[in-house]
Amino acid sequence: MINPVLRNALAGFGALLLGLGLGRFGYTPLIPVLIQDGWLSAGAAAYLGATNLFGYVAGSLMAATMAKLVPVPRLTRASMVLSAISLIACALPWGFVWFAPWRFLAGFTGGLLMVGAIPLILSRAPLAQRGRSNGIIFTGVGTGIITAGTLVPALAGWGPGPVWIGMGLLALVIAALTWKQWDGDAALPAPPTEAAPARAFTLPVALLLAAYTLDSAGFVPHTVFLADYVARGLERGVAAGGLYWVLFGVGAISGPLMVGFAAEWFGFYRSIIGVLTIKSAAIAIPLFSQHPVALAISAITVGAMTPGISALASGRVVELVGFGAHRKVWGWLTAGFAGASAGVGYLFSFLFDQTHSYNLLFALGAAGVFVAMLLTIFARKPKN
């Protein structure tokens, strides 16, 4: 029988698999299918992606306020169902005007799940098991990436409609499987009642927010340009480029759990410094070697560290502000990262358009994450 702590962590895993893995990242492999079948132009598809990201930022910022008005379990269930409905609604080929509000809703509910549901699960985990709980939860993002990357090609032959419906039905299944768990478990201690500190926005929080936001510079080169770098930059073909995206997803599945155990052994403070250091070095690997093994190590490592950083940052917020202000501060970090990712994505796209240099992007990404690591060194309390 699965113990209560693990059941709660798996509920969080399902929430991120649904809200981010399917609701957000499931759109990426579907873009060429939508364009090829004439459902959207290339420009409209890009704007639709931005609309989803805008919804994610809005949901992240509003989650703490909404959690005061609606009980978090009820808000979580509603977000999961609405996210599934938004996916199914996109099965109708009615153009950008129809898609835009549904993609915004998918992003909005994803933000609510990230900022609303995850703190609830974390508050139920004993201190000694908090690291692994965070790891299990954030593994849902990578699992969703792999699931969408598998589901889209399998159903693409029937057109975009069945793909949207398939992802929506899977989302409903996930919601049903986790439905009862959001009310908690009698075998678990009640979440600690802790008043929010007088000052949630302290210097350590500001430094952690800056570091987490700056980490977005390291998010873009691999998630946007790595496959293209291999396929066209190194002239190894589309299949080879796709392989490295799969390897990135494999890393994203395994990374959060690994860093979760690291947090239990070394603490969140030391672990986030170490992970950012490793991530910076991994982003820079293509600058020094284009050997397939070296690039595979880079893809897997950056894939592992990307959601891994989120797991560590979430746990670190609890250490800095406690559970009372966790949802508010975690909302700041989530919105900051999402907004910065969009901004950095546009900036890097502009730089690439002007220079056609992949190396510049990898260098900037590695440098940004290295600076983020330096900031986290100072994001500490005196007792740490």
Ranges of the chain whose pLDDT falls below 50: 186-191, 193-198, 384
Helix, strand counts (H, E) of the chain? 16, 0
| 57-66: b (≥16 Cβ within 10 Å) or e | bbbbbbbbeb
> Distance between CA atoms of 310 and 301, rounded to whole angstroms?
15
pTM of the shown model = 0.76
> Distance between CA atoms of 137 and 129, rounded to whole angstroms?
12
Q: What was the pLDDT predicted at 82?
A: 97
Question: Would you say 23 and 75 are in contact if contact means Cβ atoms under 8 Å apart?
Answer: no
Q: What was the pLDDT predicted at 241?
A: 73
> Distance between CA atoms of 56 and 63, rounded to whole angstroms?
10
> Distance between CA atoms of 123 and 316, rounded to whole angstroms?
13
**If you search the block for the tokens 């153009």, which residue do you land on?**
95
> Distance between CA atoms of 146 and 78, rounded to whole angstroms?
25
Q: Exposed, middle or buried by CB within 10 Å (0-12, 13-18, 19+), for 97?
A: exposed
> Distance between CA atoms of 339 and 16, rounded to whole angstroms?
19
- Using alpha carbons, list the distances in angstroms from residue 99 to 92, 123, 219: 9, 36, 26
